[in-house]
């Protein structure tokens, strides 16, 4: 079921709110939790009931393994806990690998060896990447002592909470479970309803009014590259810019709707998106794009690998750039390769990961060079000069161009189509053979999107007086906007929110477009 659909907005959501808050009138919160858990499973099954048993297996398996890990840790049986953790990770990753990558692997083995292996087409279960990573994080948190025992009902609700089940944010035990177990869960608090509704309305507007409008101009450019094999300078840059905006507003719109829906049910979810296109370097971009995926990859892949390699370099006596390459460069590159592969089973996603791995590794090398230069200046008694405005602006432009180039590969259905568009962007296929697709409306749309991204407050900043997300205090002062506005529940604010919600709903009538991250 899509958030941006009439059945959800006028059927499922009102029914879920009414049932939850009626159940919340009971002396305990058990009935409210059971209500939301059943509704969440129904929400998932609405898309394709055949994959509900797979989700239920994942929930039951990870609950049992996580509980045993916690018991082993409590009894100081570390070896047993580690064995259970390894077993849980193998099953979770194996399940994800089979459903997401088996066809890709078999197809490529056939192409390389001519083995002529056959495997029936495997349909990717909805949200398997997201809920599997959340379960992996839970098992590791259990092994680290950061997740505590809970009832099967609490775990089911934690694992299947519908606002964040399909496309994140990927949440941790400590962020959500204490709220689900708190005495206020299921209690009707009108402030939560109002704040959540406004956040959801903004997200819906981003998706249906902006992202889907941009999609109407963007999709023909990629189709033209795939079908006719043509993409000139203008078409190439339009394809890159328009898809970057489409992805930006689509994903930020979903993230807003997830946070808003969670708030309507009394749960603050963590941020997943915080104005990444305002970042002045590629590392900061990734800190603010798909934030919960990035922190899972960083905490459970990059950090352990980097620490292990740092200790190894000490034992081997490596210093200088050799130590840097082993302990920073390699784990950074590998991390983003995994990020790319996580997004999908295809060579375009592999190349997308390789591109960002190269970007971030190059940034880390430049940062290391800058650190060493500043260290030498301090030894000489000189104060390192701060970066000038021109340098900062140049770094921002380079970051945006790098992101757009990688987004072309991310969007294109084939490597050939992505190379065609990229070659067009850099003038290898002429300037413009046909301007009919590049009218005033396209450029006006780009100007509007640019202004919103560059100058206006994001959703969290608009709703900052209401503590809009679980970790908002960490990000309150990051990426301030030139235009300042905070929403108030006065006449002007309520009318503005109503207008935003009205247009968000009305634009659904053009046709329901799936959120881009539903594919992953």
77 a catalytic residue: no
CB 138 within 8 A of CB 66: yes
CA 164 to chain centre: 11
Q: What is the residue whose two structure tokens read 């402030």?
A: 191
Residue 288: both structure tokens together: 């603010």
- For residue 109, CA distances in Å to 54, 116, 340, 464 come to 27, 9, 20, 52
Residue 166: both structure tokens together: 């399909």
User: CA–CA separation, 157 vs 159, rounded Å?
Assistant: 5
Shortest CA distance to 202 belongs to which of 518, 468, 483?
Answer: 468
Burial class (CB in 10 A: 0-12, 13-18, 19+), 84: buried
Residue 217: both structure tokens together: 């101009």
Helices 52-74 and 128-143 pack at an angle, to 10 degrees, of 10
CB 221 within 8 A of CB 242: yes
Residue 32: both structure tokens together: 């409210």
CB 354 within 8 A of CB 341: no
Residue 349: both structure tokens together: 């996603």
Catalytic-labelled residue, pool 172, 290, 343, 356: 343
Shortest CA distance to 333 belongs to which of 366, 381, 380, 301?
Answer: 301
169 prior amide bond cis, ω within 30: yes
Is the Cα dihedral 170, 2, 253, 261 positive or negative?
Answer: negative
User: CA–CA separation, 20 vs 187, rounded Å?
Assistant: 8
Residue 376: both structure tokens together: 């030498």
Q: According to the 3-state scheme, what is the secondary structure of 10-61?
A: HHHHHHHHHHHHHHCCCCCCHHHHHHHHHHHHHHHHHHCHHHHHHHHHHHHH
- For residue 33, CA distances in Å to 8, 28, 158, 168, 491 come to 20, 10, 10, 20, 35
Active site residues: 343
């Amino acid at each position: 079921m899509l958030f941006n659909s009439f059945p959800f907005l006028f059927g499922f959501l009102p029914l879920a709110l009414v049932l939850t808050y009626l159940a919340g009138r009971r002396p305990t919160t058990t009935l409210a939790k059971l209500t939301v858990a059943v509704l969440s499973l129904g929400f998932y099954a609405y898309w394709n009931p055949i994959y509900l048993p797979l989700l239920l297996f994942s929930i039951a398996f990870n609950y049992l393994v996580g509980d045993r890990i916690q018991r082993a840790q409590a009894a100081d049986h570390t070896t047993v806990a580690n064995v259970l953790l390894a077993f849980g990770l193998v099953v979770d990753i194996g399940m994800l690998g089979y459903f997401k990558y088996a066809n890709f692997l078999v197809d490529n083995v056939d192409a390389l060896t001519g083995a002529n292996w056959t495997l029936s087409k495997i349909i990717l279960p909805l949200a398997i990447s997201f809920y599997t990573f959340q379960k992996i994080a839970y098992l590791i948190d259990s092994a680290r002592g950061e997740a505590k025992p809970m009832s099967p009902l609490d775990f089911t609700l934690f694992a299947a909470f519908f606002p964040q089940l399909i496309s994140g944010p990927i949440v941790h035990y400590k962020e959500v479970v204490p709220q689900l177990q708190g005495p206020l869960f299921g209690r009707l608090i009108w402030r939560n309803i109002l704040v959540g509704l406004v956040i959801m309305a903004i997200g819906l507007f981003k998706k249906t009014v902006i992202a889907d409008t941009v999609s109407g101009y963007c999709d023909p450019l990629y189709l033209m590259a795939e079908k006719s094999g043509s993409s000139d300078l203008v078409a190439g840059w339009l394809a890159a810019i328009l898809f970057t905006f489409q992805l930006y507003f689509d994903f930020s719109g979903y993230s807003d709707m997830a946070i808003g829906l969670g708030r309507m049910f009394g749960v603050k979810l963590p941020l997943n998106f915080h104005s990444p296109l305002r970042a002045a370097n590629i590392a900061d971009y990734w800190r603010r794009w798909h934030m919960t995926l990035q922190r899972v990859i960083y905490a459970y892949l990059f950090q352990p690998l980097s620490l292990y390699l740092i200790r190894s370099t000490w034992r081997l006596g490596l210093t200088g750039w050799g130590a840097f390459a082993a302990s920073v460069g390699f784990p950074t590159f590998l991390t983003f390769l995994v990020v790319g592969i996580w997004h999908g089973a295809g060579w375009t996603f592999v190349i997308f990961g390789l591109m960002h791995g190269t970007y971030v590794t190059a940034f880390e090398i430049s940062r290391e060079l800058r650190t060493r230069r500043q260290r030498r200046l301090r030894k000489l008694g000189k104060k390192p000069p701060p970066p000038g405005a021109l340098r900062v602006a140049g770094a921002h432009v380079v970051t945006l161009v790098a992101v757009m180039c990688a987004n072309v590969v991310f969007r294109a259905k084939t490597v050939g189509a992505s190379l065609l568009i990229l070659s067009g962007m850099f003038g290898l296929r002429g300037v413009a053979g046909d301007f009919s697709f590049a009218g005033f409306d396209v450029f006006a749309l780009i100007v509007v999107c640019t202004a919103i991204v560059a100058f206006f407050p994001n959703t969290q900043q608009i709703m900052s007086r209401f503590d809009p997300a679980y970790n908002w205090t960490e990000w309150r002062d990051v990426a301030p906007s030139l235009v300042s506005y905070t929403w108030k529940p006065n006449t002007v604010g309520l009318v503005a929110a109503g207008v935003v919600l009205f247009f968000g709903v009305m634009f659904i009538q053009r046709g329901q477009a799936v959120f881009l991250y539903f594919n992953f």
